[in-house]
Chain A
Amino acid sequence: MNLANMTDYHHFPIYAIMVLFLGAFVVSVAGAKPSGNLKNPAGARAWIALCATGLSLFFLVMLIKPVMLEGEIIAYWMGSRAIAGGYAIGIALEVDALSLFFALLIATAVFVSAIYSIRYMVHDDCVPQYYVLYCLLAGGVLGLVLSGDIFNMFVMVEILTFAAVALTAFRTKVYGALEAAFKYLVVGCMGSTAILTGTIMLYAQYHTLNLAQLASLIPGTLNNATKLAFAFLYIGFSTKAFIVPFHPLAADAHGAAPASISVLISGVLTKSGIYGIIRLTYFLFQTMNLGSMQFMLVFIGSVSMFVCVTMALAQHDFKRLLAYHSISQIGYVLAAVGLSTSLGISAGLYHAMNHTLFKGLLFLAAGAVLHETGTTDLGKLGGLSKKMPHTTALFLIGAFSISGVPPFNGFASKWMIYQASYQKAVETNNIGFLAVTIIALVTSTLTLASFVKVSQSVFFGQLPREYENVKEVPFGMRLAMGILAVLCILTGIFPNTVTGVLTQPAAKAVADVGEYITAMGFKSNLPVPEVSFVQVGVWEPINWLLILCIALLALTIVAVAGKYDRVSENEGEQVETKYQLFYGGEKNVYSQVGGGDLFWGFKHNWRHYFDFMHDLHSGIVNDYALWAVVALALAIVYMMIVL
């Protein structure tokens, strides 16, 4: 094979996956001998993992031009075993704009998290295992989204579930890590089994495992077996996306895993589930033109966003709170995707991307706090902004983004979701979609409230005495957070560019299933659909930001000229010691308002709801398994009725 052939971009998807699995292998080999000539094997392993993830990202970025901009769909047969006798024999990769979109998200999150890991994991004792599992997890997710074969999707799901469970249990000394991993394993396995069952039932009906061929065969031939398969597959991917009723697992797993892994679980694993659901509903079964399927996805999405945000409000652990928010945001994505309009899909994917960025940033900030203070309990922390100013600033960017404060990226995508749902409501004259708009808007405010709670209890307020000697985190960790923060701001300020380059091609790919089938060499008579991304509202972040900057500049000039900064810190001159801490004359006491009590006025009115939810999330693995079984049963019944 010559070099020109090898650098053909059609090979890049498989390179991107293999480089990660190869990285996992090399990491496990590197530094195996303690007497080797590497001075710092842990460091070497970190760099190997970083190179692997970086290369993988590079290969995917190289695909943006042909796939995203020129609209090519890369159909790649492993070992050149293409179609024989009308059936797909070989294993295929199929990369359309949707796959590439998710792959880019994943590769970015994995790469940034690898940068972060270098310093974050330096004191851990099981570093080699960590990087092996890390690369396996990354490779598994990437393989899942690039695969053109449903059984390979199952294999990749198993690889990533394994790696994720192992990494959740990785810090065995952490409170609840083992327990979280076990729960995740049990329910995750039920999900994987469901995916396998669904897959094999499809195979029994159509004698193929190729996604494109299935998509060309299934529509119009639904019988009870395929409906059953659909329900199984749907529930299987739901467990991977952690949407209701699987959200407690996310909370447990995110909270216990190291922060760099929480980023992957939240930003990457959940996306793989969403990707699976999109492939399943839009491509394989093409059922999204049914009102009942739209209703199901939008309903589950809305329930996820609301239930999880209220669960988050009741949390008093930083990472657990973030985990619930994660699922709440996934609810936005699912609801938007379920609208089944081009604008809705585009908005949902945009939000999925933003979710990866800001949630990654927030988890890394939580990791930074954990790294320096050794706890993430909101009740024990406080006042860290004086000790960790950069982390605080980066955290605030993430918090504003997730709360949808303009001009950050969360606002841009949520705003598209509000519009898409309202437009859908008006077009179909269905007041149910209007309820989605309202729930989405209110959830956004509750998210803000929850992050005000975090910033008050962790970064502002008073510094407890035991954290007097806390320092800012190392540069490597701040760099990783900084990359994500910059991306958060950029994707917020240039929404049109981002949607034009990334999400609209992906949304077009979702709409144009016929192209996906024919690109693989199968026949399809699906028409090329009309797509329109027209929005009713207007949002021009650059102009708005310009005006705000001018206003702020004018104010600052006036303030400086008016000696606004003529400040005396009330130390030194003050004789009376009781004025030292506060202007109001408080003594030097530690009197922080606890994070748990912060929104008492809100929670009081909802106390029955909160009590009920608290009892419901009992933490017993049998209960969660029961939820999974009930969800499966409901899905089967629903599919039998509506499909």
Chain B
Amino acid sequence: MIQFNYIAAFFLIVLGFYTIVTKYNLVKTVIGMSVMDYGVNLLIITIGYTPGGTAPIFTAGELTQASYFVDPIPQALTLTSIVIGACVTAMSMSLVIRLHESYGTLDTREIRRLRG
């Protein structure tokens, strides 16, 4: 069943791309970026997952040869990635607010003073 996770992860990434490319609303663009991030997070977690593994929380005495747990590194990576994703959303939303103030619109087709 794990392959559904992979499919979902790449589906989310592609959905994010699709949203960014086709939606002309700045807020939707930001949503697209978030969706893209979630897709990657799902991908990372899925890679670290081993079916039937427990949480990788052991103190010194508990760890034995028979211990069977999921890979902890991707979980650490996901945490980093989630934090970064949150920052991206915050930053882009603040930019969207300022853009709306100075351009009076959220349509990307009208926010194109810099071109050529």
Contact = CB atoms under 8 A, between A and B. Distances in A.
Does chain A bind chain B? Answer: yes
Interface of A: 151, 155, 158, 162, 165-166, 169, 172, 175-176, 178-183, 185-186, 189-190, 192-193, 196-197, 200-201, 203-204, 207, 209, 251-252, 255-256, 314-315, 320, 613-614, 617-622, 625-626, 629
Contacts of B44: 196, 200
A155 B24 CA distance: 30
A186 B26 CA distance: 10
A175 B91 contact: no
Given A193-B13, A626-B21, A200 B80 contact: no
A622 B17 contact: no
Interface string B68-111: 00010110010011001001100110011011001100001101
A178 B113 CA distance: 11
B112 A200 contact: no
B114 A200 contact: no
A239 B8 CA distance: 26
B74 to A, nearest CB: 7
B20 A622 contact: yes
A83 B59 CA distance: 21
Majority SS of interface residues in chain B?
helix
Contact of B73 (A189, A203, A618, A619): A203
A314 B44 CA distance: 44
Contacts of A209: 73
Nearest to B83: A158
Of residues A189, A251, A626, which shows the largest number of chain B Cβ atoms within 10 Å of its Cβ?
A189
A200 B91 contact: no
Nearest to B110: A620
Contacts, number: 119
A629 B88 CA distance: 19
14 contacts: A162-B91, A169-B98, A176-B113, A178-B99, A182-B111, A183-B114, A193-B40, A196-B40, A196-B44, A197-B40, A200-B44, A200-B74, A204-B47, A209-B73
B74 A203 contact: yes
Interface in B16-58: 16-17, 20-24, 26, 29, 33, 36-37, 40, 43-44, 47
A436 to B, nearest CB: 27
Given A179-B111, A186-B29, A169 B95 contact: yes
Given A193-B40, A203-B73, A629 B21 contact: yes
Contact of A619 (B24, B43, B103, B112): B112
A251 B112 CA distance: 13
What 9 pairs across the A-B complex have the smallest Cβ distances?
Answer: A619-B115, A619-B112, A204-B47, A176-B114, A614-B116, A625-B20, A252-B114, A176-B113, A182-B95
A296 B13 CA distance: 26
Of residues B13, B80, B88, which shows the largest number of chain A Cβ atoms within 10 Å of its Cβ?
B88
Given A151-B77, A617-B115, A619-B116, A186 B13 contact: no
A179 B20 contact: no
Nearest to A315: B116
Given A151-B77, A178-B99, A629-B21, A165 B113 contact: no
Given A162-B91, A166-B91, A622-B108, A178 B102 contact: yes
B6 to A, nearest CB: 10
B114 A180 contact: yes
Contacts of A189: 33, 36, 88, 92
B43 A197 contact: yes
Nearest to A168: B95
Given A189-B36, A200-B74, A617-B116, 7 more contacts: A162-B88, A180-B114, A182-B92, A189-B92, A192-B84, A613-B116, A620-B112
Contact of B99 (A179, A193, A255): A179
A393 B98 CA distance: 39
A620 B23 CA distance: 11
Nearest to A252: B114
B113 A619 contact: yes
A402 B43 CA distance: 44
A251 B111 contact: no
A625 B87 CA distance: 20
A638 B71 CA distance: 32
B28 to A, nearest CB: 10
B21 to A, nearest CB: 5
A621 B74 contact: no
A511 B85 CA distance: 37
A619 to B, nearest CB: 3
B24 A622 contact: yes
B104 to A, nearest CB: 13
Contacts of B40: 193, 196-197, 200
Contacts of A169: 95, 98
Contacts of B91: 162, 165-166, 185
A186 B92 contact: yes
A629 B17 CA distance: 7
Given A181-B95, A186-B29, A200 B47 contact: yes
A330 to B, nearest CB: 20
A191 to B, nearest CB: 11
Contacts of A158: 84, 87
A203 B80 contact: no
Contact of A621 (B16, B29, B37, B81): B29
A478 B17 CA distance: 45
Nearest to B111: A179
Contacts of A183: 114
Contacts of A193: 13, 16, 36-37, 40
Contacts of B37: 193
B100 to A, nearest CB: 10
Nearest to B43: A200
Contacts of A182: 26, 92, 95-96, 99, 111
A164 to B, nearest CB: 11
Contacts of A256: 114
A189 B92 CA distance: 10
A162 B92 CA distance: 10
